[in-house]
Amino acid sequence: MSNLQKKLFSLSLLVIACAFLIVLFYRGFNDPDEGRYSEVPREMVVSGNWLEMHMLGYRYYEKPPLTYWLVAPAIKVFGARDWAVRVPLLISGLLLTGIFWFLARRKWERTTADIATLTMLSMIGFLAGTGLLLTDSFLFMWFALTCISLFFGCQPGVSGGRRFLLFSVASIAAALAFLTKGAVAIILPPAIIFIWLLWERRPAALRTWSVPWAILLCVGLLTPVMLLLEKHNPGFFHYFVIDEHFSRFTGTREIQLHPEPFWFFAMVIPLLLLPWTLFIVRAAWRLIANRGWRTDSLSRFLLVWIVVVIGFFSASTGKLMSYILPAIPALGLLLGRWGLTDRDDSRRDRILWNIGAAGLFIAALAIMVVWLISYFRIIPKEIYPISGRSVVALLPIVVMLIVLIATRGYRAFTGLLGLNTGIVLTTALLLSPLAGKDFNVLLHINSSHVYKQLAAQLKPEDQIVVFWSYRPALPFYTQKIYVPFQDTNELLYGMRAEPERAWELKDKDQLEAFLRKAPGRVFAVIEPQDMEKRFKPLDLSTVPTTIPRDPDTIILELLPPSPR
């Protein structure tokens, strides 16, 4: 690699890091996911009890507590700010990057390893997985540490002491992953290692006393923690094991969320690999033509990793894009290793490379078209209007497109990486307040700017009623738990477990009684689509507020009913 290419590599890495930091620290919450995993630890900090899990004051057992325990210290130190809760994500993302870079460098030639790692880092799926506050984002890192530790522990010729150490690290990481997400953390990594060793024709590598030791260590770590959690959260173990594992997987859960067909992830994966998606064609061809699965042990391992994770979650009834995040780094490394390295002068390879490069140009142009549609209000209900100053965010793409075309840089990985960094940086900028408060096209709409305006007007005696929707980010920004009106959602279990604490308003009579007793103002949070058909028929007295609305939120002030 020439000095110029090395400089471009370094510059690209810097730009990707900047984009990552913008996504982490200069963006509001996407509800309900980021709101949920911020509000639970906020309530822990407020109550001073970090062993009980509550959401909006109700018991909340859908996930183990490790994510909350990682986020709560950041809230304690920096306060309840959206950027503060993402500090643990920064640490997790850096560790995850280091783990995969180390893996690639140990098994591949340096340039190949660097290209593969940068391909992984610059995929939308990797940036989203490390930048969104989800349990899956932390599982991402623990899962990788488990699998890679086992991979190195099962290498031919590894010493007994080193194997013991690596299996111990894998066991600890698996226990932490279980406390982050659940049983997938202790089921899938052993399955990946076992299938890989069968492919390697080395299953005897598991005939070591390090295996029972690792199992005992994991069980020994989890048992006292689970007993402690059950003591402080009665019913947690049953709910978590039965409802969140068996019932969710089989589709027999009372509230079954996210039902999707078996082939759902076939649609999702191309989006997660953007903008390198079309290089899948070259990667698949070269992997087959060069018999990479036969000559390269790491490629075999990554293939098994990908198939096991995606296959397992494809069999589940409920599916979300985030479920297969543990497979994304493996996909990225494999895509970079076989799709973006070792160009030759054959006609077939030129065609395959140009197909992949076209994907980056399409992605860049698509972002610019979306900006134009938003700015000129072509379909304002689907793509909300953007502010004119956000045109500055398009500069990275425009500049890199000009440079790439002028220098024909699309013929080399470094040139395409430059365009990719422009795409990633522009995407990050358009998700930030630079684009204006209303531009949320590239992820689903969030109402953080509205919540902040409401928080600025609230007084201690004021109350908030949320109609027919679930908004865990709202109490995080307002520092006040809202009252739900005819909506239970994920709170149903907690309401049933402690009916004496329930404050859901079930009908108009309860709402009017609440308004009469309210010591201060009462603000209503309503979705625009509910205004005409659901809210107006309640015939409540309201006063408009100065708080701006967005496509998802209208805020009014409710007045006490007139005496009858």
Q: pLDDT tens digits for 503-556?
A: 789 999 999 999 999 999 999 999 988 999 999 999 999 999 999 887 788 999
Under the banding of pLDDT at 50, 70 and 90, the label for residue 459 is very high
Whether residue 557 has pLDDT greater than 60: yes
- Give pLDDT, residue 1: 58
- Give pLDDT, residue 443: 38
Whether residue 483 has pLDDT greater than 60: yes
Among 63-67, 82-86, 369-373, 386-390, name the one with the lowest average pLDDT.
386-390
- Of 211, 216, 324, the C-alpha closest to 266 is 324
Measure the CA angle with vertex 382, ends 124 and 369; round to 5°: 55
* Percent above pLDDT 70 for the chain: 94
Q: State the average pLDDT over residues 61-90.
A: 95
Q: pLDDT tens digits for 129-155?
A: 999 999 999 999 999 999 999 999 999
Q: pLDDT tens digits for 105-136?
A: 999 999 999 999 999 999 999 998 999 999 99
Among 150-154, 271-275, 405-409, 523-527, name the one with the lowest average pLDDT.
405-409
Q: What's the rounded Cα separation, in Å, for the pair 207 and 384?
A: 59
Q: State the average pLDDT over residues 33-62.
A: 94
- Give pLDDT, residue 251: 54
Give 558's contacts (C-beta < 8 A, 6+ positions apart).
465, 515, 522, 523, 524, 540, 541, 542
- Give pLDDT, residue 515: 95
Q: pLDDT tens digits for 373-392?
A: 888 888 776 677 777 888 88
Q: In terms of pTM, does the model score above 0.85?
A: yes
Q: pLDDT tens digits for 296-319?
A: 999 999 999 999 999 999 988 778
- Give pLDDT, residue 13: 86
Under the banding of pLDDT at 50, 70 and 90, the label for residue 442 is very low
- Give pLDDT, residue 250: 57
Q: State the average pLDDT over residues 387-406.
A: 87
- Written as one letter, the residue type at 552 is D
- Written as one letter, the residue type at 110 is R
φ, ψ at 429 (rounded to 5°): -65, -35
Q: What's the rounded Cα separation, in Å, for the pair 420 and 430?
A: 15
Q: State the average pLDDT over residues 330-350.
A: 94
- Give pLDDT, residue 252: 53
> What per-residue string of b and e applies to 485-506 under the rule 16 or more CB within 10 Å gives b?
bbebebbebbbebeeeebebbe
